[in-house]
Amino acid sequence: MLKIVLCKKLFQKRNTLLFLWLISLQGTSQTFAWWRDNVRWDGVSHWYEYLTISPAFFGPNALPVPAINNGSTDSILSLGITGNFHFSPGDKTQNISLYGNYVTRDGTVSFDAEFIPYERFAVTHKTKEKRNVYFQEYDAQSATGDVVINSTFQPFKKRYTVFRWQYAWEYACHREVKPERRDTPTLPDTG
């Protein structure tokens, strides 16, 4: 008899906790009806059509831009990790960034990569309405970023490139290109 009474009490507590948990979920999340009314959905278009593709509407890490270099390869192998903090009205975002650079032995090819493995954000309801956040993503508070890989190829060695540009520039300026003679020694001035 005591066993049955204990089971009933545990069952009642479990149901009460489950009920309270379900109420808390309903209070913090948004429904499809909320999203439909917020974006004035036409009933046919995909939800992606209602997004504004812009950094202001996607957050600081949503549209990655690869690094642009000057066309020459880096000379060192490097790895790095940084923490970034972005604060704007209605959007507080923090993330970790990993980056690295690899250069071949002869220095003609380099690869660099950047990755955001973890991003945490807190966005206000007003900002979510403005951004037309889809109802299934309304409660999201973290994300993983894209992997951006950049490569640079420099098929000619630097000394040949500089040599070519020097003579091309002199030719373009109509200067007479005279290589220096090194077969006759110069005597020091004893003056």
Amino acid of residue 34 = W
Model confidence pLDDT, tens digit, residues 113-153: 999 999 999 999 998 888 888 878 888 899 998 899 988 88
Per-block mean pLDDT, blocks of 10 residues, the chain (191 long): 53 62 54 84 86 81 77 83 92 93 87 92 90 84 89 70 51 53 57 53
- Does residue 85 contact residue 106 with C-beta atoms inside 8 Å? no
* Location of structure tokens 């190829």: 153
Q: Please state, in angstroms and as integers, the Cα–Cα distance from residue 134 to each residue in 22, 27, 30, 44, following that order.
A: 21, 17, 9, 15
pTM of the model: 0.58
pLDDT of residue 92: 92
pLDDT of residue 118: 94
| Burial track 137-166 (b if 16+ CB lie within 10 A, e otherwise) | ebeeeebebeeeeeebeeeeeeeeeeeeee
